[in-house]
Amino acid sequence: MDYLPIFCQLRGKACLIVGGGDVAERKTRLLMQAGASITVSAKSFTQPFYDWQQQQITLIEGEFSAQLLTNKWLVIAATDDPVLNQTISQLCEQQQLFCNVVDSPKQASFIMPSIIDRSPLMVAVSSGGRSPVLARLLREKLEALLPQHLGKLAEYAGYLRRRVKHYYQTINERRRFWEKLLVHDRLAQALANHQSQQVEQITQALFDAPLDDRGEVILVGAGPGDPGLLTLKGLQQIQLADVIVYDRLVSQPILDLVRRDAELIFVGKQAGFHCVPQAQINQTLLEQAKRGKRVVRLKGGDPFIFGRGGEELETLFQANIPFTVVPGITAASGCAAYSGIPLTHRDYAQSVRLITGHVQKGSDLDWQNLAAERQTLVFYMGLSQAQHIADNLIKNGMAATTAIAIVEQGTLAKQKVITGQLHQLANLANYAHSPSLIIIGDVVKLRTQLRWFADNDVAIH
Ligand code: SAH
């Protein structure tokens, strides 16, 4: 270890910054946030320094003088003169004063990390001066991963500490309580929205329920396949889960992102076998949650669009298991974007219909309505019904030459797009495999200009 990371309490402590330019400005801002009592010495200052003068900083205009080091806790040499920076660093060394030299970690006795500030929670990242860009990239990743509300949650945890200590006798019980509270999505949301009544209600409910009985289910939409299309919240949830219940449409790259020690339960159709019946899936969710687990039900696309998410939640509702829902990008949005087919367009389609091709026996669709002009039709689960779809649309007045696209494995590297005309639909469907989406309407023609994703293109004229 080249550097020991420490967090310094600088509130009210005298610190010196030498330099009055942009870099010194950034350092001053940080020390101000830490509440230090700051003196800045420079030949000249940028405007913000004068604005800050009314607050807690003292400006000393002119040449640097060694006397300024007296009684300081920390020094930052941030001038654009490397010789002066080095002199300051040496003087500090003699006086056993911690000194940071900007852009020159070798001369510095402390370096400043990249920070992710969720005060009071702080994450510091450093590459030991080897690669500030790498540290910054990592910081950006962490910044995206750590929800903004974490600070509020940490603050709240601090406030609750005594109550928890009083309520639970053993460290083990307290730990289990905190593990539940700190990942409680609705609590975090209530905190972020300053809904103090709700915060108290949720907290009280957490105290009241026996510790083992606090499972919950988070229904997460995984998007159409490309892991980049998973939402930030979805990613956070799959990294917190104890158990992940997933099916066939969840792509491998997304499964690679789940917490390593989470239990994975597959409930999709495997070659030669039937799907796990819905009732059994509902039961699995219920059982896992009742065991006190944090269960993520991970579904392709959006869980509320042909995802039977509603049915699963109804079962949980009846059993009084708490749940939350994280939406996902549905196949229609994903496939449309990655195949260069805008679902609506001022000139061609004023509305879009998401339709299941898998209609329950006995009921059929309102074909006359669907055949109307100036709309885009998107059929999910439509491959095996392609003939039926084309026949009915044409019978009800849609032009047989209407443009169609079949998007297979949309948004994934293997994406294939077959385009043609409505009368060819059934024939073209023979060349596609599940999962595929059928898009019907004039907007499909725009693909010739708007295609950007390097997919496997099959155009039939
Ligand atoms: N809840 C999902 C849909 C589940 S129904 C969503 O919002 O996207 C399953 C159907 O979705 C498949 O038969 C197929 O028509 C479509 N689908 C899902 N992912 C797809 C993908 N990557 N490419 C093409 N179609 C997809």
CATH assignment of the domain containing 179: 1.10.8.210
Residue 434 alpha carbon, nearest atom of ligand 1: 13
For residue 57, the model assigns a pLDDT of 92
pLDDT exceeds cutoff 60 at 153: yes
pLDDT exceeds cutoff 60 at 323: yes
Q: Is the Cβ–Cβ distance between 59 and 50 less than 8 Å?
A: yes
Tell how far the Cα of 213 is from the centroid of ligand 1, in angstroms.
35
Range of the domain at 362: 339-459
Q: Is the CB of 385 under 6 A from ligand 1?
A: no
Nearest Cα to 327, choosing from 351, 339, 313, 309? 309
Average pLDDT over residues 444-453: 97
DSSP code for 301? B
Nearest Cα to 379, choosing from 350, 431, 416, 422? 422
What CA–CA distances, in Å, run from 438 to 261, 319, 381? 38, 38, 8
Strand residues in 304-411 grouped as ranges (E): 323-326, 351-356, 375-380, 403-408
For residue 213, the model assigns a pLDDT of 61
Q: What percent of the chain stands above pLDDT 70?
A: 97
Alpha-carbon gap, residue 86 to 381, rounded angstroms: 69
Residue nearest to atom 16 of ligand 1 (CA): 380
Q: Report helix, strand or coil for 339.
A: helix
Q: Is the CB of 223 under 6 A from ligand 1?
A: no
213 annotated as belonging to a binding site for a ligand: no
Per residue in 338-374, pLDDT tens?
A: 999 999 999 999 999 999 998 765 568 999 999 999 9
251 annotated as belonging to a binding site for a ligand: no
205 annotated as belonging to a binding site for a ligand: no
pLDDT-based confidence at residue 270 (cuts at 50, 70, 90):
low
Question: What residues contact residue 115 under an 8 Å CB cut-off, 6+ apart?
Answer: 122, 123, 124, 125, 139
Residue 121 located in a structural domain: no
Residue 137 located in a structural domain: no
Q: Could you tell me if 181 and 239 lie in one domain?
A: no
Residue nearest to atom 5 of ligand 1 (CA): 306
pLDDT-based confidence at residue 155 (cuts at 50, 70, 90):
very high
For residue 271, the model assigns a pLDDT of 47
Residue nearest to atom 25 of ligand 1 (CA): 436
For residue 360, the model assigns a pLDDT of 63
Residue 225 alpha carbon, nearest atom of ligand 1: 22
For residue 362, the model assigns a pLDDT of 55
Let me know if 395 is a catalytic residue.
no
Q: What distance, in Å, lies between the first and last C-alpha atoms of the chain?
A: 65
Per residue in 49-64, pLDDT tens?
A: 999 988 779 999 999 9
Alpha-carbon gap, residue 241 to 233, rounded angstroms: 12
Q: Is the CB of 302 under 6 A from ligand 1?
A: yes
Residue 433 located in a structural domain: yes
- In the chain, % helix, strand, coil (3-state, to 5) comes to 40, 20, 40
Q: Could you tell me if 313 and 223 lie in one domain?
A: yes
For residue 106, the model assigns a pLDDT of 86
Average pLDDT over residues 305-322: 91
Alpha-carbon gap, residue 178 to 174, rounded angstroms: 6
Q: Is the CB of 409 under 6 A from ligand 1?
A: yes
Tell how far the Cα of 380 is from the centroid of ligand 1, in angstroms.
6
Please name every residue paired with 365 in a beta bridge, in sequence order, or none if there are none.
none
Alpha-carbon gap, residue 224 to 338, rounded angstroms: 11
For residue 227, the model assigns a pLDDT of 94
Q: Could you tell me if 360 and 307 lie in one domain?
A: no
User: Judging by beta carbons within 10 Å of its beta carbon (0-12, 13-18, 19+), is residue 448 exposed, middle or buried?
Assistant: exposed
Question: What residues contact residue 137 under an 8 Å CB cut-off, 6+ apart?
Answer: none
Tell how far the Cα of 186 is from the centroid of ligand 1, in angstroms.
29
Alpha-carbon gap, residue 383 to 436, rounded angstroms: 7
Q: Could you tell me if 173 and 228 lie in one domain?
A: no
For residue 4, the model assigns a pLDDT of 92
Q: Could you tell me if 346 and 450 lie in one domain?
A: yes
Question: What residues contact residue 58 under an 8 Å CB cut-off, 6+ apart?
Answer: 38, 39, 40
pLDDT exceeds cutoff 90 at 260: no
User: Catalytic residue among 141, 165, 269, 414, which?
Assistant: 269
445 annotated as belonging to a binding site for a ligand: no
Low-confidence winner among 74-83, 234-243, 330-339, 436-445 (lowest mean pLDDT): 234-243
Q: Is the Cβ–Cβ distance between 379 and 352 less than 8 Å?
A: no
Residue 412 alpha carbon, nearest atom of ligand 1: 22
pLDDT exceeds cutoff 80 at 461: no
Residue 358 alpha carbon, nearest atom of ligand 1: 13
Nearest Cα to 112, choosing from 10, 6, 22? 6
Q: Is the CB of 331 under 6 A from ligand 1?
A: yes
Q: Could you tell me if 155 and 61 lie in one domain?
A: no
Q: Which residue has the tokens 């930030």?
A: 232
Residue 259 located in a structural domain: yes
**Last residue of a domain, which of 329, 351, 368?**
329
Q: DSSP assignment of 192-251, as one string?
A: HTT-HHHHHHHHHHHHHS-GGG--EEEEEE-BSS-GGGS-HHHHHHHHH-SEEEE-TTS-
Q: Could you tell me if 320 and 386 lie in one domain?
A: no
More confident residue, 196 or 361: 196
For residue 203, the model assigns a pLDDT of 95
Nearest Cα to 247, choosing from 235, 257, 255, 239? 255
Q: Report helix, strand or coil for 409.
A: coil
Q: Is the CB of 300 under 6 A from ligand 1?
A: yes
Average pLDDT over residues 413-434: 96
What is the total count of domains within the chain? 4
Q: Is the Cβ–Cβ distance between 456 and 416 less than 8 Å?
A: yes
Alpha-carbon gap, residue 84 to 43, rounded angstroms: 12
Let me know if 256 is a catalytic residue.
no
Per residue in 223-246, pLDDT tens?
A: 999 999 999 999 989 988 899 999
Tell how far the Cα of 217 is from the centroid of ligand 1, in angstroms.
22
330 annotated as belonging to a binding site for a ligand: yes
User: Catalytic residue among 242, 247, 416, 455, which?
Assistant: 247
Q: Is the CB of 341 under 6 A from ligand 1?
A: no
**Last residue of a domain, which of 112, 130, 158?**
112
Q: For ligand 1, pick from 231, 305, 306 the residue to mutate: most ligand atoms within 8 Å of CB.
A: 306
**Last residue of a domain, which of 329, 347, 366?**
329
Q: Could you tell me if 402 and 323 lie in one domain?
A: no
For residue 361, the model assigns a pLDDT of 58
Q: Is the Cβ–Cβ distance between 134 and 127 less than 8 Å?
A: yes
Q: Is the CB of 335 under 6 A from ligand 1?
A: yes
Q: For ligand 1, pick from 380, 406, 407, 409 the residue to mutate: most ligand atoms within 8 Å of CB.
A: 380
Centroid of chain to Cα 319: 30
Q: Could you tell me if 315 and 273 lie in one domain?
A: yes
Q: Could you tell me if 452 and 343 lie in one domain?
A: yes
Alpha-carbon gap, residue 334 to 411, rounded angstroms: 6
Q: For ligand 1, pick from 354, 359, 437 the residue to mutate: most ligand atoms within 8 Å of CB.
A: 437
Q: How does the average pLDDT of the chain come out, rounded?
A: 92
pTM, 2 dp: 0.71
pLDDT exceeds cutoff 90 at 303: yes
For residue 369, the model assigns a pLDDT of 95
State phi, psi for 151 to the nearest 5 degrees.
-60, -45
Taking the CA atoms of residue 278, residue 282, residue 285 and residue 286 in that order, the dihedral angle to the nearest 10 degrees is -160
